[in-house]
Structure 1
Amino acid sequence: MSTVIHNPKSTNQGRFIGVGVGPGDPELITLKALRLIQNAQVVSFLANDQGTSQAKSIAREAFSAVQHPQQEIAINMPMSTDRELANQAYDDGAKRITQALEKGLDVVFLCEGDPLFFGSFAYLLERITDSFECQVVPGVSSINAAASALRHPLTVLKESFAVVSGRHSAKQIDTALAEHDTVVIMKAGRARPKILTALRKTQRLEEAKYLEYIGRDNERIVEDVSQLEDKAGPYFSLFVVTKTERGTR
């Protein structure tokens, strides 16, 4: 269960601002996000055990122009599916962010993609929003970036569109593929064998495209997923499934 920090809101408190930095291309950061990052008193982000942050790396050009000292709050997130460990990390991060907010410092949290679309910011927002002023700056999601990389529209005319996660059950993925014209399957990494099985079962294998690390130097696009290795892939990967035959009116 998450820990919610309760303090009466005050005009002397700082603001907690979730900023989307996009899926990987540093040039996809919005002007508003750029300004907030460069002016931030405190910057927070998720980091791995080695202290590396994907979100901070994406925003590297914004940091290159910072001309004042910035405090950093790195939230170390264990690479595990254990939600108890993740919640402990979010609880610890929320406490450290709260300490800065109580001093009247604004905290800008960097989030890959969009802060409120499969974003880690949502879990911190849940813990902080009752006590402090919170703002959100949207970012380009991996779904939009994937469509651009493929140069292929996600939906047209009356087509239906669904987003599911590789963490959903095989039955849920099968149902989405059977009922919707366009389906994006997020968090495909460990679930890749299950997703490939679902694509074969629903006869949509030929309509699927697979993408990894969109907008980054190691971006990979597989347009014929029948050639894709039937084993787990990286965390930053997704499938885009669209109808082969599409209307023209």
Structure 2
Amino acid sequence: MSGKLFGLGVGPGDAELLTLKALRLIKESEVIAVPGNDTENSVAYQIAKSVYGGLDEKILLPVAMPMTKDAAVLEENHKKAADDVEVHLKQGRQVAFLTLGDPTVYSTYLYVHQRILERGYEVEIVSGITSFCAVAARLNMGLVERAEPLHVIPATYKAEELEGILKLPGTKVLMKTGKKMKQVRESILKSGQQAVMIENCGMESEKIYESAEEIPEAAGYYSLIIVKESN
């Protein structure tokens, strides 16, 4: 009998945001797939280990997920990841794939999920706390109220495109802003809107920036900005 793959959302950084269901499945799974070449340096691994001391007794499967836009390189790595997971599924093992935040939101896990599903195996996604909800809660603020729309945007657009996006009504969540922080900051300031940012939300290295002016020109990958129309 084949095993089953679970895509587990482990939240954005605060280990206490790991769900009871995700923790149960981590304990029950023989194999723990961890994004990255070095499992111990993975944030997702560190979150899970901080609440479950038996993690290293499992079969740990590192899954390379290079940060590139090269379609050929991505396809090669996504296929290899699916192949590595399938080896264990064929042996009847349950695999838990740890994913930061929620597996359904800009998650590299989905590329493995889709391939394993196409190959006829049983798969299941387990939701986690999203980074933008955690950031809003950390700042004691609401994301949207009444009929306000919410736009979740990867901040990888060109400056002129981002400036157009910032004109959308409602709240804008800008994710993955790290490498383009200077451009993003300038676009927000030009828009005249209010903005707050958290870098490494819920982690020991967390930093909070309470206005667009405070946002630095350079920041880490786990940086998220919430932009609201000025009152």
Distance 1:50 1:110 in 2: 11
Aligned partner (choices 125, 147, 157) of residue 158 of structure 1? 147
Aligned partner (choices 189, 201, 213) of residue 200 of structure 1? 189
CA displacement 1:36-95 (0-9 Å, x = unmatched): 0011111101124686211111111343146x9421111133344444333322221110
Residues 86 and 163 of structure 1, relative CA distance in 2, 3 Å threshold: same
2:179 is paired with a residue whose SS is coil
Q: Is the 8 A contact 2:35 2:62 kept in 1?
A: yes
Distance 2:104 2:67 in 1: 21
CA displacement 1:9-32 (0-9 Å, x = unmatched): xxx111111000000001101100
Aligned partner (choices 219, 227, 236) of residue 214 of structure 2? 227
CA displacement 1:101-159 (0-9 Å, x = unmatched): 01111111000000111112111112111221110100001000010111110001121
2:178 is paired with a residue whose SS is coil
Instruction: Give 2:214's aligned amino acid.
Output: Q
Aligned partner (choices 134, 143, 154) of residue 132 of structure 2? 143
Asked if 1:184 corresponds to 2:170, the answer is: no
Q: Is the 8 A contact 2:169 2:229 kept in 1?
A: no
Aligned partner (choices 68, 73, 83) of residue 61 of structure 2? 73
1:155 is paired with a residue whose SS is coil
Matched residue, 2:202 = 215
Larger Rg: 1
- Percent identity between matched residues is 30
Note the residue ranges of structure 1 that are not aligned, 5 or more in a row. Answer: 1-11
Q: Is the 8 A contact 1:51 1:76 kept in 2?
A: no
Matched residue, 1:242 = 228
Task: Give the structure with the higher percent helix.
Answer: 2
| TM-score normalised to structure 1 length | 0.86
Range moving further from structure 2, 49-58 or 212-221 = 49-58
Distance 1:63 1:96 in 2: 24
Within 5 Å, which residues of 2 pair with 1:1-249?
12-48=1-37, 52-65=41-54, 69-130=57-118, 131-204=120-193, 207-230=194-217, 232-245=218-231
Aligned residues: 230
Range moving further from structure 2, 147-156 or 221-230 = 221-230
Q: Is the 8 A contact 2:37 2:62 kept in 1?
A: no
Q: Could you say what the CA RMSD is over the residues aligned between the two structures, in angstroms?
A: 1.9
Distance 2:204 2:70 in 1: 30
Matched residue, 1:6 = none
| TM-score normalised to structure 2 length | 0.92
Distance 1:128 1:156 in 2: 39
Q: Is the 8 A contact 1:18 1:136 kept in 2?
A: yes
Q: Is the 8 A contact 1:49 1:77 kept in 2?
A: no
